[in-house]
Amino acid sequence: MSYRTDRIAGMLRRVLPSRPEARRILLGTLLSAVGRGLTLPFLFIYLTDVRGLSDARAGLVIGWLGAVMLVLSPLGGTLIDRFGARRVVVPGLIIEAGGVGSLALVDSTASAVAAATAIAVGGSAIWSGQSTILASLTGDQERQRVFGLQFALLNLGIGVGGLISGAIVDTSRPVTFQTIYVIDALSYLAPAAILLSMPGVGGKLGATGASGAGRASGGGYLTVLRDRPFRRLVIFGLVLTTCGYAQIEVGFTAYAIRVAEVTPRVVAWALAANTVMIVLSQLLMIRRLEGRSRSGALATVGVVFATAWLVLGAAGFVGPGNAVVAALCVVACSAIFGFGETMLSPVMPAITNALATDELRGRYNAMSSMIFGISGVIGPVTAGPLIGAGGGLYWSVLVIAGCLVASLLALSLRPLLSLAQDGRAPLADPADAPEPAHR
């Protein structure tokens, strides 16, 4: 036991960032994630079963949230590059806290849309801003490890929150849902306070080049869009997240409850299984990914996600007649999905920041986060009506096929990356980084 403990401690020390400021940013991620976990799997159920919205309207509300984020994300990236991430992230956290807290008071479609709008306005630049801050505090050699650790901490917090909310929420008692939304709102203030305590962190990045040296640093989003490898990465991300992450809040939850006929508590336990998988395997996966093709890892993620949805589809067939097997399939789906996430979480931001220059790092990270905004519109808008109308089978086929298409896109990315950008060779000094092919 002592040997295993020492080995885990050694692995953790190896992935911790060298700068204490980066470690404090990661602590803020963990604290806010606990609040996020309280509410993550329940928004669709809260809006429909507690607040009385139809399945289609609830899906549209969640889709609206993604649409507003999508519209504002480019502006967030520009502001980050112009004024520094700190001046964008702190107000965003405060605004999003207000929006999340207001969900406790919604009583109609209009009020739900208003709350979702506030959440989207505040959150439109938070993730890209935090990624930019972490990238500025870490070197090329440790970024993949640090982004993986960030994701592990994020999911650890979400899992803890999910376990807590799963034990207390009750659709017949609206106050239980109101409580978790208020606590979630308060949790957003933790990373804001941490960032405010470090006045030297998150400022405007200097004019020196980063890992994308040799390319023009001006031109704003036009330069970013001219980056052919990054364009391919964005297309891959759009397909994968639309058929993956964007389905968690609506597709996964609605299918599990409406088609597989499991209880909301099973959904909460499924989220816990997802977290356990990530926490147990993320450090090992970070180690396994070092020196290996990042594009190959992304292709594997698509296959793993497709497998997860296939298992969930099986729950729909056995659910009405065997509640135990259906519940096990729902939990297994979430665990398998989590295994895929342990590969995606370190690799996607590592490639993004390997392609970026310091002057455009905010915009690169903003475009990467826009992937979730676009998929956040398409996923809920299609999943809610499809499953609500009894189209669970069609939904399953659609998301499984989409994940496999994403795998093919990831494989097509490999020839466009240099060995260093693909993770198959160590990133040297930025000035020595080779020019990738096919610009």
DSSP-derived secondary structure for 120-145 = HHHHTTHHHHHHHHHHHHS-HHHHHH
pLDDT of 197 above 80: yes
Q: Determine which helix (DSSP H) or strand (DSSP E) holds 287, and give its type and residue range.
A: helix 264-289
The alpha-helical segments, DSSP class H, found in 290-437 are 294-318, 323-355, 361-388, 392-413
For tokens 């497709």, the residue is 306
- Nearest 5 degrees, angle CA 125-CA 276-CA 139? 45
Q: What is the pLDDT of residue 430?
A: 40
Q: What is the mean pLDDT of the chain?
A: 84
pLDDT of 200 above 70: yes
How far apart (Å, rounded) are the C-alpha atoms in residues 321 and 246? Answer: 29
Per-residue pLDDT reduced to its tens digit, 262-309: 888 888 788 778 878 988 888 889 888 888 899 999 999 999 999 999
How far apart (Å, rounded) are the C-alpha atoms in residues 103 and 107? Answer: 9
Q: Band of the pLDDT at 96, cuts 50, 70, 90?
A: very high
* 98 residue type, one letter: G
Name which of 107-121, 172-186, 200-214 the model is least confident about: 200-214
Q: What is the pLDDT of residue 121?
A: 92
Q: Of 331, 337, 282, 276, give the one whose Cα is nearest residue 305.
A: 337
The shares of helix, strand and coil residues in the chain, as percent rounded to the nearest 5, are 80, 0, 20
For tokens 């207000």, the residue is 98
Domains and CATH numbers, the chain: 11-432 (1.20.1250.20)
pLDDT of 4 above 70: no
pLDDT of 90 above 70: yes
* Greater model confidence, 14 or 288: 288
* Greater model confidence, 394 or 312: 312
Q: What is the pLDDT of residue 429?
A: 42
Reading the block at residue 83, the tokens are 């004024």
Classify residue 5 by burial, with Cβ atoms within 10 Å: 0-12, 13-18, 19+. Answer: exposed
pLDDT of 40 above 90: no
